[in-house]
Structure 1
Amino acid sequence: MSDLIATAPTFGRIPTETIAVIGEHIVKEMRAEHGDKVASDRWWSITQTCRRWRDVLCDSAALWTNVTIKGIDYLQEMLVRSKKLPLTIHGSLCSDDDQTNCKKLRLIMSHSSRIRSLCITVSPGALKDLTEVPHISEMNKLEALDITQIPIETLEDGMPNTDILSRFQSPVLRSLRLTHFQFDDVQPLLCSTLTTLTLTGPGSASPSEMAQVLQGMPDLESLNLLLNFSPSDAV
Structure 2
Amino acid sequence: MTHYLSTTAVNLSFTGMLNQGGPSPDSQHPGPLIHILDDYSLLYIFSLSRPSILDENEVDHDQVLEGGEWTRELWWYRLVQVCRRWRGIVFESASHLRLSLVCARGTPVVDMLAHSPPLPLIIDHLDLNYDITTEEEEGILLALQCRDRVRRIRLRKSVPILQKLVNALDGEFPILEYLYAMPQQYQRPLLDQNMSLNLPETFRAPHLRHLLLMRFAIPIGSPLLTTMGNLVTLSHNLIPHSAYFHPYALLQRLSLMPQLETLGIFFNSHFPSRDIERQLLRTRITTSVTLPNLQWLGFQGASAYLEALLSQVTIPLLETLQVYFFNQLTYSIPHLQQFISTAGNLRLEIATLSFLEDYVKMKAYPDKEAKMFALCVHLGGRHLDWQVASAARVFHTLGTIFSAVDHLTLESDRHVMSSEWNNEADRTQWRELLGSFVNVNTLSVGGELVGQLSHALQPGEGESPTELLPELHELHEPDRPEPPDEPGELSDSAMGAPSDVFSSFIDARQKAGHPVSLIHP
**Mapped contact 1:90–1:120 kept (Cα < 8 A):** yes
Residue in 2 that maps onto 1:56 = 88
Q: Between Structure 1 and Structure 2, how many residues are aligned?
A: 218
Indicate yes or no: 2:160 matched with 1:140: no
Q: For 1:53-202, what aligned pairs fall within 5 Å after superposition?
A: 56=88, 59=91, 61-62=94-95, 64-65=99-100, 67=102, 69-73=104-108, 76-77=111-112, 81-83=116-118, 85-92=119-126, 95-130=130-165, 137-151=171-185, 162=198, 164-166=199-201, 168-179=203-214, 181-184=215-218, 188=222, 189-194=224-229, 195=231, 196-201=233-238
Q: Which has the higher contact order (CA 8 A, sep 6+)?
A: 1
**Are 2:54 and 1:11 aligned?**
no
C-alpha separation between the residues in 2 aligned to 1:161 and 1:207?
14
Q: Is the 8 A contact 1:207 1:230 kept in 2?
A: no
Letter in 2 for 1:147: A
- Give 1:22's aligned residue: 42
Distance in structure 2 (CA, Å) of the matches to 1:120 and 1:132? 13
- Asked if the contact 1:192/1:217 (under 8 Å) is kept, the reply is no
| Aligned equivalent of 1:4 | none
How far apart in 2 are the matches of 1:111 and 1:100? 17
- Deviation (angstroms), 1:110: 1.4
Question: What amino acid does structure 1 have at the position aligned with 2:226?
Answer: C
2-structure distance, mates of 1:31, 1:129: 33
Identity %, equivalent residues: 18
> Match for residue 276 of structure 2?
233
d(CA) in 2 for partners of 1:75, 1:144: 23
Q: Going by fraction, where is helix more abundant, 1 or 2?
A: 1
Identify if the C-alpha distance between structure 1 residues 24 and 193 changes in structure 2 by more than 3 Å, giving closer, same or farther: same
Residues 150-204 of structure 1, C-alpha deviation per residue, up to 9 Å, x if partnerless?
Answer: 1478579x68653x4546432333321112x143489754334243311111623
Question: Is contact 2:153–2:178 with CA below 8 Å preserved after alignment?
Answer: yes
SS in 1 for 2:50: helix
Which consecutive unaligned segments of at least 5 residues does structure 1 have? 1-9
Change beyond 3 A, Cα 1:206–1:57: closer
1:146 and 1:159 map into 2 onto residues whose CA distance is 18
Q: Separation in 2 of the partners of 1:224 and 1:182?
A: 14
| Alignment match of 2:246 (pick from 209, 212, 217) | 209
Structure 2 unaligned residues grouped into runs of 5+: 1-28, 56-67, 281-521
What is the rounded CA distance, in whole Å, between the counterparts of 2:124 and 2:88 in structure 1?
A: 25
User: Which whole-Å CA distance do the structure 2 matches of 1:186 and 1:150 have between them?
Assistant: 24
Partner of 2:306: none
Task: Tell me, yes or no, if the aligned pair for 2:154 and 2:180 is still in contact at 8 Å.
Answer: yes
Give the TM-score taking structure 1 as reference length.
0.66
CA distance in 1, matches of 2:123, 2:44: 18
Taking a change above 3 Å as real, the CA distance of residues 185 and 59 of structure 1, as seen in their structure-2 partners, is: same
| Alignment equivalent of 1:224, drawn from 240, 246, 264 | 264
Query: Against the structure 1 CA distance between its residues 11 and 113, is the aligned structure 2 distance closer, same or farther, given a 3 Å change threshold?
Result: same
Deviation at 1:109, TM superposition (A): 0.4
Decide whether the 8 Å contact of 2:226 with 2:256 is kept in 1: no
Asked whether the 8 Å contact 1:143–1:172 carries over to 2, the reply is yes
Cα distance, 1:23 vs. partner?
Answer: 6.0
Deviation at 1:99, TM superposition (A): 2.2
Provide TM-score, normalisation by structure 2.
0.34
User: For the residues of structure 1 that align with 2:237 and 2:244, how far apart are their CA atoms?
Assistant: 15
Q: Which amino acid aligns with 1:71?
A: G
* TM-align CA RMSD: 4.3
Say if 1:110 and 1:137, in contact at 8 Å, map to a contact too: no
Q: 1:102 to 1:66 in 2, by over 3 A?
A: closer
